[in-house]
Chain A
C-alpha cells in the first residue's frame, strides 16, 4: 500500500517536472532528480507481502475468569523470513479492558529468526471478548509504503459475573417435578420434615411406627414425612434499558450478579433452571440441570446487555408457555409502573413469582445534584416505588428491595417473613 508520504512526494515530483517542462527550465528538472531517485529506491526496497513470513502466537491466561480478575496476554511475533522487518505490533486496546499494565504495542527492527514479545495484564469487565487478530505494520526503509495487516490469532476471554453464594431460600415453586429434590411437595413420602400420621400399610418400615399415637388410637399408625422434590425455576433478567434509565450503569451489573446468584443456588439444589433475558429481544436458555447447564447460563449472563424493543417494552409478552404453571419465576428488575399487573396475572395463573429489585438509590442516581428539587424528585420516586411494591405484595408477588451494597443472601432468606408481615 502506498502511504501518504509517498503520495505527497510523487505529487511534488510531478509538479516539478510539469513546471520545468512548462517554463523550459532545466534547473527545475534537475531538482526533480533527488525526489525521483528516492521514490524509485524506496519503492524498490518494499518487500511484497512481508507478513507471510511472520509467525504470531498469542497466549491468554486465564481464558475464563470472574469480574475483577486479571487476565494476562502474551504475544510473540517471529520473523521466519530472510529479510529484516521494521515492525510495529499492537494487540488492543480492547474496549472493556481497564487498568492495562505492560506493553500492548511495540516497534522494533526484527532480524531473520528474531522475535518480538508483547506482554500485558488487564482487568476486563464482564463479557465475552473475541480477540481475533494481532495488528502489525510492516514499514519499509524510507517509510513510503507501510503495510498494515491483521494477523489472525483468535482467542476468547470469558468474564463471568461475580456472584454471591446464597445460603437458603424459604420460598419455592408451587408445583414440583417427579424427581427428589429440596422443595416441599406437600405430600407424604421420603423427606425430613414431619408431615402427618396415617394408618399402617403392609410394607411400611417398622421404625416409622408412631408408638404414642398407636397407643391412643389402638391401631397401628406410622409417621409420614413431607416429600421433597425438584422444581422448575425460571430466572428472568430484565434487560429493558428503560427500566434502568437515569440510574447508575452499575445497577445493571448488580442485577446480572443477582440473577447469577439465584441461578447458581437453584441449580445447586438440583432444580431445573431456565434463564430468560427479557427486553431487547427474547434470549432464552431452556430449563436444565447440572454444572454444564450452569456454565451455559453464566455465559449468557456474561453477555447480557441492555437494549430497547417496542415489543418487549412491557412484561406482558413474557413467554410463560415455556414454563408449566406452578413453577417459580424469579424476576430481577428495578421494575416499571405497569409491571405489577402482569406479575399479578402470573400469580393468578398459578406461578409463584418472586422479584429481586436492585435499589436504584443504593447504586446512585446518574447526574443528580444535591439541590432541593433533586431531593423532591427523589422523594417522589421513592413514593412511586412504595406504591408499586404495595400493589405487588397485595397481588401475592414476593418482593425484595435489595440495597446493592449489602449481601443478597439475608434478603432472600427473609423474603418469606416479609411477605407474611405484609399479609
Chain B
C-alpha cells in the first residue's frame, strides 16, 4: 500500500502528467510485490532504488515536500518488506511504530534543513562530506570487525531429562 501511495505521490510531485509513458510506473509496485511474494530480494531492492529515484527527481523538479513524502513512504515500505516471518503481532507493531518514528523525525529534520538559509563554500561542503564519509566508513569497519565472533557465556551442555 505504501508503495502504491509513494508512486501516486511521485506522479503528483511531477505535476500529474498524462503522458502514457508514466503508466510504466506501475512496474515499481508490481516488481516490489513480486519480490515479496516469490522471495526475490533483488526485486525489492530495485523497487526501493526506483522510488528513491522518483523522490529525488521530484525534489530536483522543485517539489521538495512531495519528494520527501515519497521518500518517507519508500522507507516505510522498505522497513515493512524486511520484517522477518514468524514473529508475533505485538513485535511487528512495535517495529512498525519504531520505523514510523525514525522516518518521521528524519523527514522533519530534512524539512527543517530545507528552511534554513545559509551559504556554504562548495569546497568546505565537499571536504566536510568527505570527512563525514571517511569517519562513517571507519566506524562501520570497526562495527563489522568487532571481536566476539565466538560466543561464550554461561551455557550448559545437553543431557537427558529426568
Q: How far is the CA of A154 from the CA of B157 in the complex (A)?
A: 6
Chain B, interface size: which category? 35 or more
Q: Mark B15-58, 1 if CB is under 8 A from A, else 0.
A: 00000000000000000000000000100010011001001100
Bound-state CA distance A32–B48 (Å) is 14
**If the complex has contacts A33-B106, A108-B88, are A52 and B153 also in contact, measured as CB distance less than 8 A?**
yes
B158 touches A60 (CB 8 A): yes
- A151 contacts which chain B residues (CB < 8 A)? 151, 155
In the complex, whether B9 has a CB less than 8 A from a CB of chain A is no
Pair A56/B95 contact, Cβ less than 8 Å: no
Decide if A80 touches B106 in the complex (CB within 8 Å).
no
Minimal beta-carbon separation of B2 from chain A (angstroms): 15
| Residues 66 to 113 of chain B near chain A (Cβ within 8 Å) | 67-68, 71-72, 75, 78-79, 82-88, 90-91, 94-95, 98-99, 102-103, 105-107, 109-110, 113
> For A52, what are the chain B residues with a Cβ–Cβ distance below 8 Å?
148, 151-153
Q: Does A347 belong to the interface (CB within 8 Å)?
A: no
Residues of A within 8 A of B121 (CB): none
A49 touching B148 in the complex, CB below 8 Å, given contacts A12-B52, A54-B153? yes
Closest residue of A by beta carbon distance from B145 = A1
Give the total number of A-B pairs whose CB atoms are below 8 A apart. Answer: 170
Residues of B with C-beta under 8 A to A12: 48-49, 52
Question: Whole-angstrom distance from the CB of A333 to the nearest CB of chain B?
Answer: 37
B-side contacts of A26, CB under 8 Å: 114
Main secondary structure of the interface of B (DSSP, over half): helix
| In the assembled complex, A382 has its CB within 8 A of some CB on chain B | no
Q: Which of A54-70 contact B (CB under 8 A)?
A: 54-63
Q: A274 CB to closest chain B CB, in angstroms?
A: 31
A359 interfacial by beta-carbon distance below 8 Å: no
Is A179 interfacial (CB-CB < 8 Å)? no
Are the C-beta atoms of B159 and A107 separated by less than 8 Å?
no
Q: When each residue 1-18 of chain A gets 1 if its CB lies under 8 Å from chain B and 0 otherwise, what string results?
A: 110110010101010110
A34, A55, A62: which contacts B68 (Cβ < 8 A)? A34
A54 CA to B41 CA, complexed, in Å: 30
Further 20 A-B residue pairs, CB within 8 A, beyond A26-B114, A37-B110: A4-B45, A8-B48, A12-B48, A19-B56, A25-B59, A27-B64, A48-B143, A48-B146, A48-B148, A52-B151, A57-B155, A61-B160, A62-B160, A63-B160, A80-B153, A109-B94, A142-B98, A152-B151, A153-B157, A153-B158
A: residues with CB less than 8 A from B are: 1-2, 4-5, 8, 10, 12, 14, 16-17, 19, 21, 23-28, 30-31, 33-35, 37-39, 41-43, 46, 48-49, 51-63, 74, 80, 86, 88, 105-109, 131, 139, 141-143, 145, 149-155
Chosen A-B contacts, 23 in total, with CB atoms closer than 8 Å, are: A1-B144, A5-B78, A5-B82, A25-B60, A27-B59, A30-B113, A31-B59, A31-B67, A34-B103, A34-B110, A48-B146, A63-B158, A107-B91, A109-B87, A109-B90, A139-B84, A141-B95, A143-B83, A149-B149, A150-B151, A151-B155, A153-B155, A153-B157
Closest 8 A-B residue pairs measured CB to CB?
A34-B106, A155-B158, A49-B148, A27-B59, A37-B106, A33-B110, A107-B87, A107-B86
Q: Which residues of B contact A (CB under 8 A)?
A: 41, 45, 48-49, 52, 55-56, 59-60, 62, 64, 67-68, 71-72, 75, 78-79, 82-88, 90-91, 94-95, 98-99, 102-103, 105-107, 109-110, 113-114, 122, 125-126, 129, 133, 136, 139-140, 143-144, 146-149, 151-161
